[in-house]
Every structure is written in C-alpha cells, then in structure tokens.
Structure 1
C-alpha cells in the first residue's frame, strides 16, 4: 500500500511542484526501511509519469492558443530560439542538461520537460535522462537522510 501511495504522490508532485516528494519519500522510507528500493522505484517512475505529461504538453503547445500566443511574443520567442540553437545538433548537451535538471532541480525539471517537448527532444533521451537523474536525486535523498539520522 505504501508503494502505491508514494507512486501516486510522486505523480502528483511532478504535476504540482508544491507537493514535496522528497519529504514524502524520506518519511516513507523511515517508516518502512525494508522497502527502500521499492519506494525509490515508485518515486522515480511516478515522477517520470508526471513529467511525461509536461513533455507531451510541450510537444502539443500549439494546440493551446493562449500559450501559443505567449510564445510568439518577442522576448519569449527570442528565448525559445536561443534554446533551440543550443540544443540543435548537440545531443550530448541536451542530454546533459536534462540529466542535470532531473538530478539537481536546476533549472526546474518541470520547465525543462516542457522545453524538451517544445524542442522535440527524442522521447528516449528525455525518458532515460529523467529516469536516471530522478533516481539519483531520490537515492541521494534517501541515503543522505538515513546517514544523517544515524548521527543522532
């Protein structure tokens, strides 16, 4: 039951960044340390399910007239063009940025997920870098937290 709760909370937190999955995961692992790996997997996969929705939204941004109009404004268009220039023909840069964002949270992963969709980053690259980055982030939260708890 805890597995599914963390999985659901992880999806919700991917869609609504105000929900802190790191805190939920740390508390869940402290309550059921024998299930640490299952909870890590639940959080990681759940986050990616939610981020795939952001990615898909970026791919289909032209279907939302208000967002499309916002992206046509000169400042937004110039920013998007700069990102397109940075990513075009540089798959390692793009993959590295996505991995870094997923692992560290800067730039915010929800924003890079949308940007990846807008820039048409191949889904496999988006998914694998996100899965690895989020997995590493949650591993650090769980094992960093458990290390700190053993100090007290």
Structure 2
C-alpha cells in the first residue's frame, strides 16, 4: 500500500514538474514488486496521479486564456488564425480531440504536458480530457511496470 501511495504521489509531482521523470521512478519501483497484478495496480496509481497533475496544467491554461497577456497574443493575426483553426478542428469533434490526447497520453508524442495546456486553451470538454488521459497514462505506465517485472523476475 505504501508503494502504491508513493507511486500515486510521485506521478502527480512528475506530471507537474517535467524534470521528475516518472519512467525512472517506475524502473526503481518496479524492481521492488513482482507480479502482473502489482504491475497493473501500480500503473493505475501512476495513471491516476498523472491525470491529476495534467488537470492542473489544463486548468491553468484554460484560465490563463482570459489573461491580458494571452489576449494580447491572440490579437496577433497569425496566432489568432492558428488558434481559431485548432478550435474549429476540436469543436464538435470529441473523438478527434480524444484521439490526439490518447496518443499523447500513451505514447508521449506530442508531449502530454503541452497537449494538456492546448486542451485547456481550446477548452476541450473535461469529460473527454480526463478519461482519455487516465486511460492512456494507465496503459503506458502499466506496460512499463510489466516490462520491468518481466525483465527482472
């Protein structure tokens, strides 16, 4: 239970601070626990924590979009055109938005930190953002824990 809580807490910190890579933590934590059930459980803990951290980035970007600085940037024709193009792509297309976010959450390309901010700026529906990030991150981290378990045990 301690390892599960530590994994959850570290994954929140890692989601907020990019210089704390969760993958390195998984290598160490995965070496201490054996078994498929433990690997999946720890992957879910890491996925849940990462989702909480990315929700914070999402909200910061969503709320920051109304700031004077952001409005000044959006007044530039080139920036405004790009922003409006992405809003048009995402608006009314939750499956498209979810697909991009799932790839970012599970594969890390494009980086999920950036995509969480973009999701907030574009006001991606929270009902799309949260489950997509949680599933993608949980899958990624469970597979990493399973890989460590397979390699060491």
Distance 1:41 1:139 in 2: 7
Hey, what does 2:102 align to over in structure 1? Answer: 99
Distance 1:100 1:124 in 2: 17
| 2:12 is equivalent to residue 11 of structure 1 | yes
What are the within-5 Å matches in structure 2 for residues 2-151 of structure 1? Answer: 2-33=3-34, 35-149=38-152
Is the contact made by 2:41 and 2:142 (CA closer than 8 Å) also made in structure 1?
Answer: no
Distance 2:148 2:129 in 1: 28
Distance 2:78 2:60 in 1: 21
Distance 1:147 1:3 in 2: 19
- Size of the aligned set, in residue pairs, is 150
Q: TM-score, normalised by structure 2?
A: 0.86
Is the contact made by 1:98 and 1:126 (CA closer than 8 Å) also made in structure 2?
Answer: yes
**What SS is found at the alignment partner of 1:30?**
helix
Is the contact made by 2:43 and 2:140 (CA closer than 8 Å) also made in structure 1?
Answer: no
Deviation by residue 1:37-70 (Cα, 9 ceiling, x = unmatched): 3322221110001001011112211354334434
Aligned residues: CA RMSD: 1.9
Task: Provide closer, same or farther for how the CA distance between residues 33 and 83 of structure 1 changes in structure 2, counting only shifts above 3 A.
Answer: same
Distance 1:144 1:28 in 2: 12
**What SS is found at the alignment partner of 2:124?**
coil
Higher relative contact order (CA 8 A, sep 6+): 2
